[in-house]
Structure formats: structure tokens, C-alpha cells
Amino acid sequence: MWDPTQYSLFRDERKRPFFELLARVEAAPPAHVADLGCGTGDLTRVLVERWPEARVYGVDASVAMVEAARRRPVPPTLRFEVGDLAAWEPPAPLDVLVSNAALHWLTDHEALMERLARKLSARGVLAFQVPANFDAPSHRLVDEVRELPRFAPALASLRKGRAAPLATYESWLAALGFSVDAWDTTYLHLLPGEDAVLQWLSGTTLRPVLAALGPEEGRAFVEALRPRLRQAYPAHARGTPFLFTRRFVVARRA
């Protein structure tokens, strides 16, 4: 259901949090590194540049994303795989496990933290970033359209993204023996183009919705959402202001 081209429309805005997350990762030269939810692999290659001696694994549940990642030459220390982000098992314990804007699609984050911790070595670092924007007007309006009688039956069982509170992540990971650095950042993006917020959502939040509805109903959903987003996010000559909060966690073995 993922479209690499649509996702890449706001490449700069989506990759900035990755570098801010990675800046807080302090690790001795790792032997094994993984990027869960690697997408098109552009940022996974940054991990190879930072740790050229490490074996790096890029994992994504989307076949289309992994195929896009493999179209460019792949360094010998890097491997891209299609896999379930929660169930994937590394060939060796990981010294660094990174995930950028992917884990919010998974359920039961308390159990997820335990599963991810088991993938780490004795000196392992877990670093992830997830959107924490689910109460923003953009997401509330998507939910509003989802609940319309025309769409609700087809979308009733569709999973939504989620993120736990910062203190909750700290508590879960501290109980697993980690010291935790956690913070939120709210970005003000000035998005270019017509219906810019709709275009943003079309690369992420709306992908599972449109896949569940199919082409005809998907187009109807978009046309119901479009005027709501235009009213909530009026465009200006300099772009459409769009506030977006992201949640960052870096956990190290204590």
C-alpha cells in the first residue's frame, strides 16, 4: 500500500528528525546495526556512512519500498529485507537499532519494547522516533471522514497509528534495564503546493485507508476530506503552515 514517490514528496521534512535522533546516539563502533521501517533506504545508507565497519540491515514491511531501496547500488555491508517490524529477527544481537517514523503502526508498545530489547546486544542502543500528532486537526479530520456512514463499515477494523506518552516509554524501558533520553519536538513546516496537507497525508496516514477502500471509494474519501483540510489549513503565498509533533526516544543499556 506504500508509494515511494508520494512518500518522497516531502523528503526534507521527513528526514530531518532522523538526523536529530541519530545525533543523540552515542555508541562504540557497532558490529550490527538495523533500521526498522527503512522505507526507500536513503537514511539507512547514512548508517553505513557513519559506521562503515558494521553490518547494516534495512527492514521494511512494504515490498514496494524495499524494491525502491534496492534499485540503487547496495554496499556490501548493507542488506535490505522485507519483514514484519515486530517479528523480524537479526542474524546477530544488534548494537544499534534505529527506527524512524515506523513503530507507531504497530500495536501494544509495551510488549513491543520488550521484543526490541531482546534484539539488542549487552551494549545495545535503541533509538526511535514516532509521530505524536494524532490529536492534530489533520488526523481528527481523517477520523471524522472515516466515521461517515459511507466509509465506516469498510474502515471499522483498520488500525490507526499511535504513540505512548514520553514518561510511559521511559517507565517501560527503565524496567527493562535501560537509561532513557526522551523528548518531543514540534516542527512548523511550510508545505508548498496546492492541497499540501492532503499531499502530506497521502504519503503516510491515508495509505492504509485508501488501500482498504479501493480506487473508487478512495477517491470519494479524498474528496470528502479535501475541503475540510483546506479550511483547517489555509494556504499562503509562502506555503501552508503545518505543525507536526514527533516523539524521540534513545535508550541505552544501563
Q: What percent of the chain has pLDDT over 90?
A: 87
- The mean pLDDT value for 22-26 works out to 95
Contact call for residues 24 and 250 (beta carbons, < 8 A): yes
What integer best gives the mean pLDDT of the chain? 93
Q: Where are the domains of the chain?
A: 4-253
Contact 58, 35 (CB under 8 A): yes
Tell me how crowded residue 160 is: count the other CB atoms within 10 A of its CB: 16
* Residue 159 CA, distance from chain mean position: 15
Question: Which pLDDT value is given to residue 1?
Answer: 53
Q: What is the pLDDT of residue 10?
A: 57
CB-CB contact of 62 with 1 (8 Å): yes
Which pLDDT does position 7 carry in this prediction? Answer: 45
Q: What is the maximum alpha-carbon separation in the chain?
A: 55
Domain 4-253 indexed as CATH 3.40.50.10890: no
Element (H, E) at 175: helix 166-175
203 pLDDT tier (thresholds 50, 70, 90): confident
pLDDT digits (tens, 9 = 90+) for 65-76: 899 999 999 999
Q: What is the Cα–Cα distance from 10 to 59, expressed in whole angstroms?
A: 21
Q: Is the pLDDT of residue 6 over 70?
A: no
Paired sense of beta strands 55-60 and 32-36, if any: parallel
- pLDDT of res. 78: 98
Q: Does 132 have pLDDT greater than 60?
A: yes
Per-residue pLDDT band at 27 (split at 50, 70, 90): confident
